Structures are given as C-alpha cells and as structure tokens.
Structure 1
Amino acid sequence: MSTQAYQAYQSNSVQTASPGELTLMLYNGCLKFIKLAKRGIEEKDYELKNTNIQKAQRIIQELMVTMNPEYDIANDVMPLYEYINHRLMEANLHNDTTILNEASELVTEFRDTWKEVVRQTRQQKFGEGGNA
C-alpha cells in the first residue's frame, strides 16, 4: 500500500469511527507513544523519548478535556488521568522506563475496559434481533 493510500485509509478510519472507537484509537495511540518513548530511553535517544512522552501526555490531556463531568465515573477517572499525566512527566525528567511501564499498565487497563464497552455497545445495537 502506498504512503498516500495508507494516509487516506487512516483519515477515512478516523472520520467514520464512532466516538467510542475514537476513544479506543486514542488509548492505542497513547500506548504506542509510551512504547516509543521507552525505546528512546533504552537507546539513549532522548529526542525520541521526549517527543513521544509529550504525544502520550497530549492524548491523556485530550481525554481529560473531553470527559463529560456529568457522569459519576468522571470523578473516579479524572484523578487517574491526572496521575498518569504526572507519571509521564516524571518519566521524562528522570528517563525512567519503570515509570513508563506503570503508565502503560494503567492506560492498557483503560483501553481494555473501553474495548469491552465498545464491544457490548455494538452487541446491544446490532446483536439483538438484527435491528440497528
């Protein structure tokens, strides 16, 4: 697949995704950036580390900003997002892969939970009697 075709595919994927699928994409992107940042630390490529930690932080910040405070769960999730963001800052300052592993585990839990929510929502929407 050409680069241009791949970019068009990616753009179309984002444009046609449901809000739940977009959130899932954000979690997956955050995990990818944490993994790249970890590689940056391991390879002493501090620009790679810094750039990708900042990308991961921007995703966490986006999740924080777009969270609907009217839902009770927001009171439980927001402090965890703040904690992840803080730990990413610490990992960046101290070049600490252990902290990145911790952040990655937390984001993975959010992602896996969210993936299940998306799956159940799809099942309810399309699975019961075939009515959309």
Structure 2
Amino acid sequence: MINHQAQDTYLRMQVQTAAPWELTTLLFNGCIKFMKQTKDAISRQDYELKNTFIKKSVDILDELVITLDRNYEISNQLESLYAYMKERLFQANMSGNADYIDECITLMTDLRDTWVQAMKQLHAKSKVNA
C-alpha cells in the first residue's frame, strides 16, 4: 500500500522545486490522471467519483487558461482547445459516455508531449547560445 503522506510530500517538493515550464507539465499530467480516473469511475458506475474527477480535470483546465501568456497568438488557440475539452467533460458527466473522456485524454496527451518536446528544444538551444 502506498503511503499517501509520503506521496503528498513528494508531490509538494516536486511543485516547489519545479521550473515554470515543469509546472505546466505537472498540470497536464494531473489532468490526464484525473481523466483516466474518470473513465474508471464510469466503468464502475461510481457517479459521485466520476463527478469528482471531472471537476478536478476542469479545475486544471481553468488553471491552464489562467497561465496562458496573452502576448502570443497560440494562447487564443489553446484557450479554445481547453474550452472544447471542458465542454466534452461536461458532456461525459451528463451522459456517462467514456468516449468523450478518451477524446480529451488523447488531446491532452498530445498537447503535453508537444509541450515537453518544445521545452526540451528551447532549453537545448539556450544552452548552445549561452
């Protein structure tokens, strides 16, 4: 059995020591985790838990919107994508259709992977120019 206090302490330390781009990655990962837990709750017909995990996913999407840098056009596109995912999560919550959750997991996973790759390239480039 995992010690939840140790797990919470590890996560807290991870957040406190992370660079801003790593915090965004943690948000993506958390959202994916909660969406997967939503799917599990749907399959078990645990509607209260499904609602809880959807709410947590939506809270992370809201946080991602807040962190957008409005100086870049891509921020508007990301905001639209986050709004779309929120709508699909609401539809999943009302209908219990896990296909909506699968779509969101795919979108969020692709977004996270693209983000991580872009940040690796940016940091590699900045090291070369240093």
Please, what TM-score do these two structures have when normalized by structure 2?
Answer: 0.90
Change (3 A) 1:6 1:42: closer
Structure 1 position 84 matched with structure 2 position 99? no
Report the Cα offset of residue 2 of structure 1. Answer: 4.9
Give the corresponding residue for 2:72. 71
Question: Matches of 1:101 and 1:56 in 2, distance apart?
Answer: 13
Runs of 4+ in 1 over 4 A off after TM superposition: none
Question: Matches of 2:6 and 2:101 in 1, distance apart?
Answer: 33
Report the Cα offset of residue 120 of structure 1. Answer: 1.4
- How many residues in Structure 1 have an aligned counterpart in Structure 2? 129
Question: Matches of 1:84 and 1:18 in 2, distance apart?
Answer: 26
Check the 8 A contact 1:67/1:74 in 2, yes or no. Answer: yes
Question: Matches of 2:22 and 2:104 in 1, distance apart?
Answer: 21
Q: Mean Cα displacement is larger for which, 9-18 or 32-41? A: 9-18
Give the corresponding residue for 1:17. 18
Question: Matches of 1:117 and 1:97 in 2, distance apart?
Answer: 30
Give the corresponding residue for 1:100. 101
1:59-101 C-alpha deviation (Å, 9 max, x unpaired): 0111112211111111221111110111111100111100100
Question: Matches of 1:31 and 1:73 in 2, distance apart?
Answer: 21
> What is the percentage of aligned positions where both structures have the same residue?
40
Report the Cα offset of residue 54 of structure 1. Answer: 0.6
Give the corresponding residue for 1:122. 123
**Unaligned 5+ runs, structure 1:** none
Give the corresponding residue for 1:47. 48
Please, what TM-score do these two structures have when normalized by structure 1?
Answer: 0.89
**Unaligned 5+ runs, structure 2:** none
Report the Cα offset of residue 3 of structure 1. Answer: 4.2
Question: Matches of 2:78 and 2:8 in 1, distance apart?
Answer: 32
1:23-70 C-alpha deviation (Å, 9 max, x unpaired): 000000000000000000001111111100110010011111221111
Check the 8 A contact 1:28/1:111 in 2, yes or no. Answer: yes
For the aligned residues, what is the CA RMSD? 1.7
